[in-house]
Amino acid sequence: MECLDTSFLQNDEIKLVLDKFYPGNLAINWVPAYSFYICDLKENKMGKCDLRIGDSEGLFYGGHIGYTIEEKHRGHHYSLKACKLLFELAKKHDMEYLYITANPDNHASNKICEYLNGEFLGIFELPEDNDMRINDNETHKCIYKFVL
């Protein structure tokens, strides 16, 4: 899969600046992915986000979109705004839906999914062989589905 033009990923407050594109490796179940810096319009970095393209069991639990905002920039809905931009890129890849997941105790991320009108599918236990369970000691994820 090729990396699409991402220069359109901005609004009146933020822009997503491409850091890396990963072509994926199906042999180890890694899907193609974009990694971005979330920046203000002067390209000052405020956080990071990524979009994973494709479909797999791992994406159901890990989500198609991930994000983090530096602590000093939190409270301005930058993750929410970045997700809206990433939805547009996902559409350009002909994705019909995507998942965003959050830890049950991550109230900020769960609120973002609610503000984005995601369908709450429930709290799911991670499989025993899931990387997040093995490497991060996580056991459950709130899973939200977004129809694009």
| Domain spans of the chain, in order of start | 14-147
Would you place residue 50 in the very low, low, confident or very high pLDDT band (cuts 50, 70, 90)?
very high
CA Rg value for the chain? 15
Q: For residue 56, is pLDDT > 90? A: no
pTM score of the predicted model: 0.94
Average pLDDT over residues 5-30: 94
* Residue (of 146, 71, 145, 132) closest to 103 by Cα position: 132
* Token couple for 70: 């530096």
Given this model, what pLDDT does residue 148 score?
97
Task: Dump pLDDT digits (tens) for 89-114.
Answer: 999 999 999 999 999 999 999 999 99
In terms of DSSP H, where are the helices of 31-77?
A: 57-62
Q: Is the distance from CB of 142 to CB of 101 less than 8 angstroms?
A: yes
Fold of 14-147: Aminopeptidase (3.40.630)
Q: Is the distance from CB of 116 to CB of 83 less than 8 angstroms?
A: yes
